[in-house]
Structure 1
Amino acid sequence: MTNNEKMSGQSKLILFILILGNFLCLISETVMNVALPKIISEFHVPTSSAQWLTTGYMLIIGVSVPVSAFLIQRFTLRQLFITAMSLYVVGSVMAFMTPLFSILLMGRMIQALGTGLVLPLVMSTMLTLVPVHKRGTVMGVFQVAILFAPAIGPVLSGIAIQYYSWRIIFLGLLIAAVLILLFAVFKLKNVLETSRPKIHIPSVVLSTLGFGGVVYGFSVAGEGSGWGNPFVWITLAIGIIALAIFVRKQTKMTSPMISMTPFTSSIFSRGILLMFLVMMIQFSMMLILPLYFQTAASLSPLQTGFLMLPGGITLALTAMIGGRLFDKIGFKPLLVVGLILLIIMLSLFTRISSDTTTTEATILYAFFTIGVGLSVGPAMTLALNQVPKELHAHGSAISNTINQVSGAIGPALYTSIMIMTSQRFIEGAEGGNQSLLEVQGMTEGVHTVYYTALGFAALAFVLALTLKQKDQQLQKG
């Protein structure tokens, strides 16, 4: 590809349809977070059961995304996207109309199956259609879906619950999904090459056990008894062992389900690790910050949603601007500036307390998201630029799987740190007002969380320094 090559109108339309579907599916990842209390009350189910509306959604995505490399090679773009959006529509209808919690949960799982198909499909198509010298710009738009959609989910659901009902959430998702589906039926064209790869059942089983075990284990660790629950360790052990066997098998197969070849590039490996570290911090921030202010400042779910909204908007704008700058000045300046800003903001968050105003927290979070926007996009684009055309499906499957795993590991790890530190503080206190102690304990927990995140951010910064500007030499093909 030459630098004069431009994207056709048809290519732009295809990417627009896919990114719309991606945005909708990612909103669903967090849209249930503030709706759970209402659902618990209406269906009279325990919190542990209701939590599966979110945990189960992430689990199904974590299991289905790794299989996507095979599906993308086997079926056409139209077949996969229309199937994915149809599944999403069916799941939304079930969730909207259900009289039973079990049907609501099943609807969410069917939605997740559709989401697991859409996420890697977008990236694989983008790598095929977008000239390498334009990938930073297009990836910036794609980052809006990846980063902004989960941030806007709680705001939309907060508004729906405040003034209407949790069912309105699914009605809105259903209407949007039907419109995207109709758009795809009439306008989406096939652009990906297909082949006849054979499905390797043992790989599917190992992938399901591996990624499912890791995602589920970390998700459960963030709840209830946390890391003290033996089931967490058993599940994680099964997941890690299955993943190790899975990776070993893929390296020996002539037609692997997910090729490990991209990891032979040191640049790809470091880029993916950078993305994982920053996304883990971002997903955690989206959970910890609202949780703290609902507890310490007694904010409503709607108020905490609006506390996060400016950061979500800033993140979207930064991702788009950062994408354009990637094509003009390269990844290194963006990555370094972004990580430095991330470190500074996390340092300031270690001083947060119940006296911190929502305005101060909103401003801090907005600047934090600038750091995320300047870091994640360049790291992801740099990594994927190292993947040759014949491995695009595998590169996109790896990237999306890492993204989902970071969304499970980050919140679980940081939530468990917060809970353990808080409990230790309360147990060590010599009496006093219980409500005040809980706020003080949670403040201590949050401080420990941000110090931990600061350590991961510093690690990411050191890793970024090992990358050279010349590493941006793009993979042609």
Structure 2
Amino acid sequence: MFSPELDSPAKPAAAVSGRTPAVIRLLVLATFVVILNETIMINAIPRLIEALHITEQTAQWLSTAFMLTMAAVIPITGWFLQRVSTRSAYSTAMGLFLLGTALAAAAPSFEVLLGARIIQASGTAVMMPLLMTTLMQVVPEEERGRVMGNVTLAISVAPAMGPAVSGVILQFGSWRLLFAVVLPIAALITWGGLERLKNVGETKSSTIDWLSVVTAAAGFGGLVYGLSRFEGGDVGVAAAIVAAGLLAIAVFVVRQLSLQKRGTPLLDLRTLRHRTYTVALIMMSVAFMAMLGSMILLPLYLQNIRLLTPLQTGLLVMPGGLAMGLLGPIVGRLFDKFGGRVLIVPGAIGITLALAGFTQITMTMPFWQLLGLHALLMVGLAATFTPVFTIGLGAVPPSLYSHASSILSTLQQVSAAIGTALVVTVMSARAETLRSEGVTQVLATLDGMRLAFIIGAVLSVAVIITALLLPARADSTGEHGDQPMHAA
């Protein structure tokens, strides 16, 4: 009904008015709310342990299962978004999210709450690629930086703000309030979206390859699960699960290469033939690892070493998250005007400097220094993410947008899991070694955190290197000239 006429009018309108298309504003708002829930449980774990009589390891599953589900479901969304209309995809995503949120608010037991989180994550997994794919279809190239800047708010700021928001909400009631507050907001956004949202682009029917579905879910889900097991110290079991996950991913890749010859892959890996997209993918993955690693370590340091409350911790990291959000649109406009390199290189250097600063944490480091380092990290990430997303997705032909955004979103989840597992494993191993040598618990943990931050700082050097490899703009690579060959 809407498809034949919608795509073409949207482009000139955006170019003339300089305003973000209504469809993107709706999807950004919805995406912000659903992604916020990925990290909103972090501060609630002590309450859940007490209320549901569970261990800390069990409680961590509420965050792990969310990431696990996202990693397993997102690879399927490339196929799903090509097959259904924008409205259908939006209805599916928000419907699942609302169902999961309502179930979580009323959950009588941990098992029901865990199931609710899995349902929530299934909706979130559809929402992220839907936003990116729609943006690339309706926003003209010269406006993408500015619009992608607004999108950064949802993709990057929401997980950064989750612990701060939950810290505030938990001051007023039990953990159920986290879901009770989100539910009416999500319902209102869903209603508003269905009232105004129109279909973008055209759907195309295709069969689904169930071997691809199973190997994608087992591979990416197994990889995230295996990495999460490192946190508990089950190194042997964790390594075996990671190896099994990698094997399943290898089978998945071989299967996709076979299906590409027939033109029916579940996840089209021809996106990786575009050098700029692949470099952007690597850079985003490493940057996400650094962000999630610091997001785990900093609250642990503030609450376990400096004995701050969840609210105080949330308030201390809030300025950095807000700075990241407010800078998103500004970074986007600068990108449209000057290209990506003038933003990405300083941003990458800022990330490394911030992580290097965190390696100097002590029992008495002033809180203003911690706040400043966190803000520098968030500003560096803000300067990096928007141009990287825009250049990376802009380097692939339109026929591959849904697949490119699905790969991007999948790797975000895997990177988050790697970052979390890496910092917790390094911190725990170092602290255990020092404790066995007679060092006190607090000092051993502090030294373990320092070592974890050092590894994060070293990894972030890769962000600087990849930043230097990226062009100023996607179209400067000339990759679209290869479109017929790659999109065939």
Q: Can you list the C-alpha shifts for 1:389-439, whole angstroms capped at 9, x where unaligned?
A: 11111011011111111111111111111111111122223x6xxxxx222
1:409-448 paired onto structure 2 within 5 Å: 409-429=418-438, 437-448=440-451
1:458 to 440, 458, 461: 461
Partner of 1:87: 96
Aligned residues: 467
1:7 aligns with 2:14: yes
Structure 2, unpaired ranges of 5+: 1-7, 484-488
Looking at structure 2, the residues matched to 32 and 475 of structure 1 have their Cα atoms a distance apart, in angstroms, of 42
Per the alignment, in what secondary structure is the counterpart of residue 102 of structure 1?
Answer: helix
Comparing 123-132 with 40-49, greater Cα deviation is found at: 40-49
Per the alignment, in what secondary structure is the counterpart of residue 336 of structure 1?
Answer: helix
Partner of 1:375: 384
For 2:50, the aligned partner's letter is: S
Contact 1:354/1:439 (<8 A) preserved: no
Per the alignment, in what secondary structure is the counterpart of residue 115 of structure 2?
Answer: helix
Contact 2:339/2:473 (<8 A) preserved: no
For 1:414, the aligned partner's letter is: V
Partner of 1:434: none
Q: Shift of residue 99 of structure 1? A: 1.9
The change in CA–CA distance for 1:148 and 1:470 in structure 2 (over 3 A counts) is: closer
For 1:243, the aligned partner's letter is: I
1:71 aligns with 2:80: yes
Looking at structure 2, the residues matched to 29 and 68 of structure 1 have their Cα atoms a distance apart, in angstroms, of 18
For 1:232, the aligned partner's letter is: A
1:305 aligns with 2:314: yes
The change in CA–CA distance for 1:354 and 1:184 in structure 2 (over 3 A counts) is: same
TM-score, scaled relative to structure 1:
0.94
Contact 2:286/2:463 (<8 A) preserved: yes
Looking at structure 2, the residues matched to 24 and 292 of structure 1 have their Cα atoms a distance apart, in angstroms, of 27
2:248 to 242, 247, 253: 242
Looking at structure 2, the residues matched to 44 and 469 of structure 1 have their Cα atoms a distance apart, in angstroms, of 54
For 1:447, the aligned partner's letter is: R
Partner of 1:189: 198
Comparing 452-461 with 25-34, greater Cα deviation is found at: 452-461
Partner of 1:395: 404
Contact 2:340/2:471 (<8 A) preserved: no
1:335-354 paired onto structure 2 within 5 Å: 335-354=344-363
Q: Can you list the C-alpha shifts for 1:252-305, whole angstroms capped at 9, x where unaligned?
A: 212100111111111111111001111110011111011111111101111111
Q: Shift of residue 471 of structure 1? A: 5.3
Structure 1, unpaired ranges of 5+: 432-436
Looking at structure 1, the residues matched to 246 and 221 of structure 2 have their Cα atoms a distance apart, in angstroms, of 10
Contact 1:385/1:475 (<8 A) preserved: no
1:266 aligns with 2:275: yes
TM-score, scaled relative to structure 2:
0.92
Looking at structure 1, the residues matched to 96 and 393 of structure 2 have their Cα atoms a distance apart, in angstroms, of 28
Looking at structure 2, the residues matched to 142 and 470 of structure 1 have their Cα atoms a distance apart, in angstroms, of 18
1:295 to 300, 304, 323: 304
Q: Shift of residue 11 of structure 1? A: 7.2
For 1:438, the aligned partner's letter is: Q
Looking at structure 1, the residues matched to 47 and 351 of structure 2 have their Cα atoms a distance apart, in angstroms, of 35
For 2:157, the aligned partner's letter is: F
1:38-437 paired onto structure 2 within 5 Å: 38-222=47-231, 224-226=232-234, 228=235, 230-253=236-259, 254-429=263-438, 437=440
Per the alignment, in what secondary structure is the counterpart of residue 165 of structure 1?
Answer: coil
Looking at structure 2, the residues matched to 91 and 322 of structure 1 have their Cα atoms a distance apart, in angstroms, of 34
- Following TM superposition, the consecutive aligned residue runs of length 4 or more in structure 1 with deviations greater than 4 angstroms are 8-11, 474-477
For 2:362, the aligned partner's letter is: S
Looking at structure 1, the residues matched to 468 and 198 of structure 2 have their Cα atoms a distance apart, in angstroms, of 41
The change in CA–CA distance for 1:204 and 1:297 in structure 2 (over 3 A counts) is: same
Looking at structure 2, the residues matched to 108 and 348 of structure 1 have their Cα atoms a distance apart, in angstroms, of 35
For 2:191, the aligned partner's letter is: L
Looking at structure 1, the residues matched to 448 and 109 of structure 2 have their Cα atoms a distance apart, in angstroms, of 37
Looking at structure 1, the residues matched to 251 and 452 of structure 2 have their Cα atoms a distance apart, in angstroms, of 33
Q: Shift of residue 469 of structure 1? A: 3.4
For 1:457, the aligned partner's letter is: S
Partner of 2:31: 22
Contact 2:294/2:453 (<8 A) preserved: no
The change in CA–CA distance for 1:82 and 1:264 in structure 2 (over 3 A counts) is: same
Contact 2:395/2:474 (<8 A) preserved: no
The change in CA–CA distance for 1:164 and 1:470 in structure 2 (over 3 A counts) is: closer
Contact 2:396/2:404 (<8 A) preserved: yes
Q: Shift of residue 164 of structure 1? A: 1.3
Q: Can you list the C-alpha shifts for 1:213-249, whole angstroms capped at 9, x where unaligned?
A: 1111111212x215x2x22111101110111111121
- The two structures, once aligned, show a CA RMSD in angstroms of 1.9
Q: Shift of residue 49 of structure 1? A: 2.1
Q: Shift of residue 210 of structure 1? A: 0.7
Q: Shift of residue 6 of structure 1? A: 3.9
Q: Can you list the C-alpha shifts for 1:58-117, whole angstroms capped at 9, x where unaligned?
A: 111111110001110111111111121111111111111122222211111111111111
For 2:233, the aligned partner's letter is: S
Per the alignment, in what secondary structure is the counterpart of residue 35 of structure 1?
Answer: helix
Contact 1:279/1:376 (<8 A) preserved: no
For 1:7, the aligned partner's letter is: A
